């Protein structure tokens, strides 16, 4: 969808490097968000936005070159004000970010439909991404692991939000809710008793009160990141290096940790302190 859009023009629009004609661009973006909220990204067109504003379609192109740029502007507009909460607990902060993203996607489901990696980010999106990175920076993860952990959480939120989008689209196009559709599948259910594990879980009530997919999944994703951080901290303790020669220092099981690999290095460090070297 957006691959044909000029990325340099996108940077100019998103980052305000050219004058904007009053509130016209803001009005266009606001109207486009309203259209996408009601009809999904598939229902968004320059014509529908123009009709909502009471202008011709061509008049919109004086401010926005095309639909691809408009989607980027919409995404950045709805992300205004998002920021990671403060505090020392990285998990609580990252979880709060995920919940912010989840609530935002429930208000604007079309966000999950924006696919591909060639969308120019705006200042609000970059600021939020930076604040998310800050939640796990300094936990002991490598820079690459920090970026990967935040990306994993973001993709999880998008994946769960896309399920909601697809369910809403199916209901919108068919006029039948998911509950009604599955409630009419008696002929299918009558054939499932030949599968023992499925039948046992059904009879034991596994489908009566299912786990919330978002809550369950988010907790497991954060568990995995927490396990990785704990492992990195253990490695850091195990890989203490000699302050003189840099060789690994074998640590005692108890007592004061050792700083030097040998008595010779300890003596060299002592002489350096004495001479000020």
The model's pLDDT over 177-201, given as tens digits with 9 standing for 90+, comes to 888 898 898 899 889 989 999 999 9
Domain match, 262 and 224 both: no
**Over 50: is that where the pLDDT of 11 sits?**
yes
Mean pLDDT of the chain: 86
**Last residue in a domain, options 24, 46, 78:** 78
| Residue 114 belongs to domain spanning | 90-233
**189 and 96 in a common domain:** yes
129 and 70 inside one domain: no
Last residue of a domain, one of 46, 78, 110: 78
**Residue 41: is it exposed, middle or buried by C-beta count within 10 angstroms (0-12/13-18/19+)?**
buried
The single residue listed with the structure tokens 């401010």 is 63
Copy the structure tokens of residue 273. 């302190």
The answer on 227 and 253 residing in a single domain is: no
Other residues' Cβ atoms within 10 Å of the Cβ of residue 187:
7
Question: Per-residue pLDDT tens for 107-135?
Answer: 999 998 887 777 888 999 999 999 999 99
Q: What is the DSSP string of 18-74?
A: S---TTHHHHHHHHHHHHHHHHTGGG--HHHHHHHHTS-HHHHTTT-S-HHHHHHHH
Handedness of CA 10, 13, 19, 22 (dihedral sign): positive
This prediction's pTM: 0.73
Does residue 256 surpass a pLDDT of 80? no
pLDDT above 70 covers what percent of the chain?
91
Please say if the pLDDT value at position 157 is more than 80: yes
Say what the pLDDT of residue 19 is: 46
Q: Do 117 and 151 have their domain in common?
A: yes
Is 83 contained in some domain? no
Query: When comparing pLDDT for 242 and 57, which is higher?
Result: 57
Residues 117 and 215 in one domain: yes
User: Does residue 90 have a pLDDT over 50?
Assistant: yes
Mean pLDDT of 91-110: 94
Total domains present in the chain: 3
């Amino acid at each position: 969808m957006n691959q044909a859009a000029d990325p340099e023009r996108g940077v100019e629009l998103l980052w305000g490097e050219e004058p904007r004609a009053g509130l016209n661009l803001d009005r266009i973006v606001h109207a486009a968000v309203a259209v996408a909220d009601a009809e999904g990204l598939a229902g968004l067109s320059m014509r529908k936005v123009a009709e909502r504003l009471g202008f011709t379609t061509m008049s919109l192109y004086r401010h926005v070159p095309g639909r691809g740029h408009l989607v980027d502007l919409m995404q950045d507009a709805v992300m205004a004000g998002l920021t990671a909460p403060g505090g020392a607990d990285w998990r609580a902060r990252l979880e709060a970010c995920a919940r912010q993203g989840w609530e935002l996607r429930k208000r604007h489901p079309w966000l999950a439909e924006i696919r591909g990696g060639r969308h120019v980010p705006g200042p609000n999106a970059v600021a939020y991404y930076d604040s998310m990175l800050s939640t796990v920076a300094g936990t002991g993860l490598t820079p690459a692991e920090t970026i990967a952990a935040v990306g994993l959480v973001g993709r999880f939120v998008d994946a769960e939000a896309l399920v909601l989008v697809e369910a809403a689209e199916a209901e919108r196009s068919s006029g039948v809710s998911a509950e009604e559709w599955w409630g009419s599948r008696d002929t299918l259910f009558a054939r499932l008793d030949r599968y023992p594990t499925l039948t046992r879980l059904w009879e034991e009530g596994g489908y009566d009160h299912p786990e919330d997919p978002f809550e369950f999944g988010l907790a497991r994703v954060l568990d995995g990141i927490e396990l990785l951080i704990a492992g990195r901290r253990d490695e850091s303790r195990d890989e203490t290096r000699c302050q003189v020669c840099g060789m690994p220092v074998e640590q005692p099981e108890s007592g004061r940790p050792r700083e030097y690999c040998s008595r010779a290095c300890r003596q060299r460090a002592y002489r350096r302190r004495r001479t000020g070297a």
